[in-house]
Amino acid sequence: MQVRGDGTSGWILVDQAMIDAFAAATGDRQFIHVDPAAAAASPFGGTVAHGLLTLSLLPAMAAEVLERPAGAQMSVNYGFDRVRFVAPVRSGARVRGHFTLTSFEEQKPGRYQARLGVTVEIEGEPKPALTADWLTLVFV
């Protein structure tokens, strides 16, 4: 089975509406995410996205650039071996994902495990928003 798994997604705008919607969905309404006035006085200088919001954008980014293996019926998240939230994503910033397939191994007939190295870049920033080793299971 051949698999192509490298690429860079397009940019995604992380605006305050997205941050507020994520806060509402998760119940994480810490002021650094949802209160622009209070967040302005924080070390971040304004509101920032939840790290988990940035992480949750990975499937949309990956769908743009990762090729599904021929014959694959579905793929599911298996988890992460490592996730680091390196730099904050400020409200109004754009992010994009860089993906590298580091392994693709058959675990048993019809089931493969893919390991992806992921870096989420923040437009114009020297440090990435996050780095991760992402595991997915692919069923054929």
Pairing verdict, β 111-122 and 93-108? antiparallel
* pLDDT score at 2: 43
CA 129 – CA 7 distance, rounded (Å): 17
Phi and psi at residue 39, to the nearest 5°: -65, -30
Task: Indicate whether 43 pLDDT > 60.
Answer: yes
Please write the tens of the pLDDT for every residue from 8-40: 999 999 999 999 999 999 999 999 999 999 999
Per-residue model confidence (pLDDT) at position 83: 98
Whose CA is closest to 34, among 43, 44, 25, 24?
24
Percentage above 70 pLDDT, the chain: 96
Across the range 69-78, mean pLDDT stands at 90
pLDDT in the model for residue 67: 81
> Which amino acid would we find at residue 132?
A
Question: Which is more confidently placed, 37 or 67?
Answer: 37
Backbone angles phi, psi at 16, to 5 degrees: -65, -35
Q: How confident is the model at residue 4 (pLDDT cuts 50, 70, 90)?
A: low
| Alpha-carbon span 4 to 31, nearest angstrom | 41
The CATH architecture one would assign to domain 6-14+50-139 is Roll (3.10)
In the chain, domain spans: 6-14+50-139
Indicate if the pLDDT at residue 3 is higher than 50.
Answer: no
Q: Give the pLDDT of residue 70.
A: 82
The pLDDT, as a whole number, for residue 114 is 93
Rounding to the nearest 10 degrees, give the CA dihedral for residues 81, 85, 8, 111. Answer: 20
Average pLDDT over residues 5-10: 86
Answer for the pair 37, 16: CB distance below 8 angstroms, yes or no.
Answer: no
